[in-house]
Amino acid sequence: HWHGFFQFKTASEDGPAFVNQCPIAPNTTYIYSFSTANQTGTFWYHS
């Protein structure tokens, strides 16, 4: 879950499994991809 980013049209990249996005299978990886252009401030992620 991200804090501090405006995720315009990328809500699928942020949220609980089965709600906003599909779960990430064990022993696999997932790359979150969204634009941070023109955003300033403090940003952080937690799961």
pLDDT for 26? 94
pLDDT at 27 over 90: yes
- The mean of the pLDDT values for the chain is 80
C-alpha–C-alpha distance, residues 6 and 36, integer Å: 8
**pLDDT at residue 42 tops 90:** no
**pLDDT score of 9 more than 80:** no
pLDDT of 43: 85
Q: Which amino acid is at 22?
A: C
Q: Please give the pLDDT value at position 37.
A: 82
Q: What is the pTM of this model?
A: 0.47
Do residues 32 and 23 make contact, with C-beta atoms less than 8 angstroms apart? Answer: no
Per the structure block, which two tokens stand in for 3? Answer: 């804090």
